[in-house]
Amino acid sequence: MASNGAPARSMWSGKWAFILAAAASAVGLGNLWRFPYLAAKYGGGIFLITYLVLVVTFGFALMMLETALGRTTGQSAIGAFRSLSKKYAFIGYFTSLIPFIIVPYYCVIGGWVTKYAAAYLMDGPAALADGGTYFNNFISGGTESFLWLLVFTVITCVVVALGVKNGIERANRVLMPVLIIMSIGVAVFVMTMPGALDGVLYYLTPDFSKFSVELVIAAMGQMFYSLSLAMGIMITFGSYLNKKDDLEHSVRRIEIFDTGFAFLAGLMVVPAAFVAMGSGDAVAAASGPSLMFVALPQIFVEMGSVAQVVGFLFFLLVIFAALTSSISLLETCVSIICDALRCTRRTAFIMAAVFLIVVACIVNLGYTGLSFIAPLGEGTTILDFCDFISNSVMMPISALLTCIFVGWIIKPQRLIDEVKVSSPFKAQKLFVVMVKYIAPVLVVIILVAYVAQQFGLFVM
């Protein structure tokens, strides 16, 4: 329950409000610009199968752990760990730093996406399909990139300012259905184009010759980041849950939403590459911003008269996906400040919003006035560093510490009892084995592999 002296805690209106919010958080840019690239690179169907197995085992256990941790304490990360053991409160503080690092650079990218959606209407698809010149000129151009950053950030802040029920729940009731309908619509349209079915077959047919250690590690990493694990979001959202809501049922449905959207993203992007270039190499050759802002506009322009419509709808879809995640990240920051300082939600929101705008502008300066700063070597930016330190280093460490804390310090039974308050825990044995033995090993593998990859010691 909430700590004495703390303001009354916000609560979800029901189980489905939580499911939609958590799914909205999970459905983000990683699904759209990383999942299709990995699926194309690692043999289509065999990557999908591996990813699905990891989601229903590894991902399920960690999501159950974090959600139950939030609900049993009624606190976000700092308060959750502090209330269970003051000696291990440092895990909560460490985990709580992560959303504060991620949300500013996420909003920078959100600004890029918003600009591109508008550019398809104002400048046309040909202007964007110039091999990256348009994108580089935009992000390094100064004023315009800051304006689009602020547009995206203000939308995020407005939703969070309205609160859990009036802001986040209402936004997700609109954004999630629209996101799903648009994803299906774009995927169906792409599949009707000449040559697209070859891409669909490439995407869905398992190529067992591509199965490798690298594939498993890539699938683990994608699953880990995609499900919003180890960044305090699921702990915070779990803390807003009513005790009568079925935790296991809810987590399983969040997995379905996230995996389904990732699958649709691949169904949009991979066949589109085949339509334009006749192979999946166009996707496998690029990932991240280069796929979203360079490769895809080149693919869309090849679609002729429908390029403007398809390009605009795709980037509008990406805006919605980015917003659902940025809203979840900022809400987590607000909740953390509330619990840590025992202040009102209004005060916490103002602090979080000011922090977000200031730091996001600093991150954006990494492409203009602060472009001389290259934290990870020549050609890298402040955004690259924030992404690396949060995603590749801090998140795996946070997950490892949390698994050790629950698995060996307070014991899994503490959270199992919490799950059973609302329903039977059918996957109890899987949960215990994963949290105590398997998940810590897998998290260490993710940590080592991605740090090694950053420094050129491992290739995925």
Please write down the HEC assignment for all residues of 179-198.
HHHHHHHHHHHHHCCCCHHH
Residues 6 or more apart whose Cβ sits within 8 Å of residue 235: 66, 67, 69, 70, 75, 76, 77, 80, 95
The reported pLDDT for the residue numbered 452 is 95
User: Is 294 part of a structural domain of the chain?
Assistant: yes
User: Is 299 part of a structural domain of the chain?
Assistant: yes
d(CA 297, CA 303): 10
**Is residue 290 within 8 Å of 223, Cβ to Cβ?**
no
Confidence band for 2, pLDDT divided at 50, 70 and 90: very low
Would the pLDDT of 6 be above 60? no
The reported pLDDT for the residue numbered 3 is 43
Confidence band for 233, pLDDT divided at 50, 70 and 90: very high
CATH number of domain containing 280:
1.10.4160
Residues 6 or more apart whose Cβ sits within 8 Å of residue 456: none
User: Is 233 part of a structural domain of the chain?
Assistant: yes
User: Is 7 part of a structural domain of the chain?
Assistant: no
Residues 6 or more apart whose Cβ sits within 8 Å of residue 340: 78, 79, 96
Helix, strand, coil shares of the chain as percentages rounded to 5? 80, 0, 20
- Rg (C-alpha) for the chain, rounded Å, is 21
Tell me 3's DSSP state.
P
The reported pLDDT for the residue numbered 159 is 97
The reported pLDDT for the residue numbered 58 is 97
Q: What is the mean pLDDT of residues 219-241?
A: 94
Q: What is the pLDDT of residues 17-45, one digit of tens each?
A: 999 999 999 988 888 888 998 998 898 99
User: Is 2 part of a structural domain of the chain?
Assistant: no
**Is residue 345 within 8 Å of 163, Cβ to Cβ?**
yes
Q: What is the pLDDT of residues 96-132, one digit of tens each?
A: 999 999 999 999 999 999 999 999 999 999 999 988 8
Percent pLDDT > 70 in the chain is: 96
User: Is 100 part of a structural domain of the chain?
Assistant: yes
| CA 21 to mean position of chain CA atoms | 12
The domain tally of the chain equals 1
Q: What is the pLDDT of residues 271-293, one digit of tens each?
A: 887 777 666 666 677 666 777 89
The reported pLDDT for the residue numbered 286 is 66
The reported pLDDT for the residue numbered 368 is 95
Among the residues of 192-306, which ranges form H helices? Answer: 196-204, 213-226, 233-239, 247-277, 281-284, 289-290, 296-301
Backbone phi, then psi, for 278, in 5-degree steps?
85, 5
Residues 6 or more apart whose Cβ sits within 8 Å of residue 196: 190, 271, 272, 274, 275
User: Is 73 part of a structural domain of the chain?
Assistant: yes
The reported pLDDT for the residue numbered 299 is 83
3-state secondary structure string across 58-121: HHHHHHHHHHHHHHHHCCCHHHHHHHHCHHHHHHHHHHHHHHHHHHHHHHHHHHHHHHHHHHHH
Would the pLDDT of 457 be above 90? no
- Give the residue carrying structure tokens 């809501």: 245
Confidence band for 302, pLDDT divided at 50, 70 and 90: confident
User: Is 104 part of a structural domain of the chain?
Assistant: yes
Q: What is the mean pLDDT of residues 357-377?
A: 96
SS3 206: strand
Q: Which residue has the higher pLDDT, 91 or 189?
A: 91
Structure tokens belonging to residue 237: 């959202």
The reported pLDDT for the residue numbered 4 is 46
Average pLDDT, the chain: 92
Q: What is the mean pLDDT of residues 67-93?
A: 96
Give the structural domain span for 219: 15-454
**Is residue 305 within 8 Å of 328, Cβ to Cβ?**
no
How many CB atoms lie under 10 A from the CB of residue 243? 12
DSSP string, 117-174: HHHHHHT-HHHH-STTHHHHHHHTSSHHHHHHHHHHHHHHHHHHHT-IIIIIIHHHHH
pTM for the complete prediction? 0.95
Q: Return left, alpha or beta for 9; rule: phi > 0 is left, psi -120 to 50 is alpha, else beta.
A: beta
Q: What is the mean pLDDT of residues 128-140?
A: 93
The reported pLDDT for the residue numbered 273 is 79
Confidence band for 400, pLDDT divided at 50, 70 and 90: very high
